[in-house]
Amino acid sequence: MAYGHVGLADEPADARAAKQDAEAAGMAFHVAKVVAMDDADTVINDAVVLVRDGRIEAVGPADDVSVPDGYEELAFGEHWLVPGIVEAHNHSAAGSWSDLNDMVYQTNPGLDTRAVVRPENEWIKTAWTGGVTTVMLIPGSGTNLAGMGTVVSTGGRNPDEAIVNSPGSLKVAQAGNPEWYFGGNTRRFMNWNTRQTMEKALDYHRQWEAYEGGEVTEEPAYDPIWEPFRGVFRGEVPVTVHTQIYQILLATMDMFVDEFALWTVLDHCTFDAWKLGPVVRESDAYAVNGPRQYHFDRTARRMIGNADGWWKNGVRRLGINTDAPVTPQKELTYQAAMACWYGWVPHEALRGITNINAKSIGVYDDVGSVEVGKQADVSIWTGDPLDPRSACVLTVVKGRIIYDGRSGLRRF
């Protein structure tokens, strides 16, 4: 059975593209274990996964899956196959961080990371080595509202291939970094400022709803600043909120979940924010914890694992992020492993960087689990991805091998 495709991350782009196009025809992966991360918690030992035309064609025990003639067969007899890793909070890997200045005003609704998507940059190539296949590229967190994020596939060879959803999210920073803006702002001012920006956007959306619903006959003026917010208010685009510490996260829940009733992703959720678990678990919000995985709780007078705190408080829509470049993108699995070291459940942690993160940013219909019909975004590891001794040896996006670490050309 062929191995082939040695050191793809270091090959010339043209040669790699030719191989990738050939791979789209049909491949069969033979592995020791498939951990599908689907909602049925499917695990298959001695498994075969068939991929054709960028989609997963079959998944099952080796005795039950016949490999069609002409398929390239790749044998990984002792390895695990899992979904491509999904990152819900990224500032760098998929684009040029220096090309988008979100530090102009305290709210910058006209910005959009779509303009800075840069396929196959060095950060993306590094992300491949950690099996990362999908990222939410968001503006920075130095101001309260920094514009629109973009969901990006790391396997894209050009912007059209790379961009999955645009806008992918509305980026908000409820506090923390924005308190430094122009010498310091109070949280009261920041909450007022964020709310008044959202109210302007909501007013624009309502004007158009009234026109489209026939309530008024005069067409409103089109405004490119507020137009992307319409998907947010329709529940089609999430709000990814940099929020942490109990009191700040409570303000986020009050404003974005209760007042505006938006699809909300609580990014960071660190320090003692987990104490709000009984409130978050009753909502549809997602908690995506990281990159801090522990906090010294002065009340309990001991270290608390943040993800463990959320889990024990009943929050099940729980993911992990790196906040790259704060933590390197390829280390998302390590962040999940650290969450387990501090008390979380390993299987749920792997779900948190695949299934849950994919759901949180609205791409689970296509990625985040290994299921027939889904996009063939998978990664193959020497063992459990959450075991720091394991390494990613193959990363596949849309049925194309984008990283092959089995040779001496392995990047890490």
Instruction: Indicate if the pLDDT at residue 154 is higher than 80.
Output: yes
Residue 169 in domain: yes
217 & 316 share domain: yes
Number of folded domains that form the chain: 2
Which of 72-76, 121-125, 180-184 shows the highest mean pLDDT?
72-76
- CA-CA distance, 192 to 198, in Å (whole number)? 10
**Three-state SS at 163:** strand
- CA-CA distance, 305 to 295, in Å (whole number)? 7
45 & 76 share domain: yes
pLDDT class of 299 with cuts at 50, 70, 90 = confident
Residue 331 in domain: yes
Which of 132-136, 180-184, 291-295 shows the highest mean pLDDT?
132-136
Residue 181 in domain: yes
172 & 54 share domain: no
∠163-169-174 over CA atoms, to 5°? 145
- 247-284 per-residue burial string, b: 16 or more CB within 10 A, e: under 16: ebbbbbbebbbeebebbbbbbbbbbbbbbbbebbbeee
Cis peptide leading into residue 178 (ω within 30°)? no
Residue 378 in domain: yes
In this prediction, residues 186-202 reach a mean pLDDT of 93
269 & 344 share domain: yes
> What pLDDT score does 382 carry?
96
Task: Give the chain's length.
Answer: 412
User: Residues 59, 49: contact at Cβ < 8 Å?
Assistant: yes
48 & 95 share domain: no
User: Residues 346, 338: contact at Cβ < 8 Å?
Assistant: no
User: What percent of the chain stands above pLDDT 90?
Assistant: 81
- CA-CA distance, 178 to 331, in Å (whole number)? 26
Lowest mean pLDDT among 35-39, 107-111, 233-237: 107-111
349 & 381 share domain: no
Neighbouring-strand partners of residue 288: 267, 319
For residue 14 the two structure tokens come to 């043209």
DSSP alpha helix (H) spans, 153-186: 159-162
Q: What is the CATH number of the domain that holds 248?
A: 3.20.20.140
Residue 252 in domain: yes
In this prediction, residues 93-117 reach a mean pLDDT of 83
Residue 162 in domain: yes
155 & 281 share domain: yes
pLDDT class of 16 with cuts at 50, 70, 90 = low
15 & 127 share domain: no
Q: What is the CATH number of the domain that holds 80?
A: 2.30.40.10
Q: Strand (E) positions, 298-358?
A: 302-305, 318-320
User: Residues 97, 324: contact at Cβ < 8 Å?
Assistant: no
CA 304 to chain centre: 25
Across the chain, mean pLDDT equals: 91
124 & 155 share domain: yes
CA dihedral of residues 243, 248, 254, 259 (deg, nearest 10): -60
Q: Containing H/E element for 39?
A: none
Is the torsion defined by CA of 361, 254, 272, 241 positive or negative?
positive
Residue 96's φ and ψ, nearest 5 degrees, are -95, 105
19 & 153 share domain: no
End-to-end CA, the chain = 25
64 & 77 share domain: yes
Residue 3 in domain: no
Residue 167 in domain: yes
User: Residues 308, 320: contact at Cβ < 8 Å?
Assistant: no
- In single-letter form, the type of residue at position 326 comes to V
Instruction: Indicate if the pLDDT at residue 68 is higher than 50.
Output: yes
Q: Which domain holds residue 150?
A: 86-360
Which of 79-88, 172-181, 184-193 shows the highest mean pLDDT?
79-88
Cis peptide leading into residue 325 (ω within 30°)? yes
Q: Please name the residues in contact with 284: beta carbons below 8 A apart, sequence gap of 6 or more.
A: 257, 263, 264, 317
243 & 167 share domain: yes
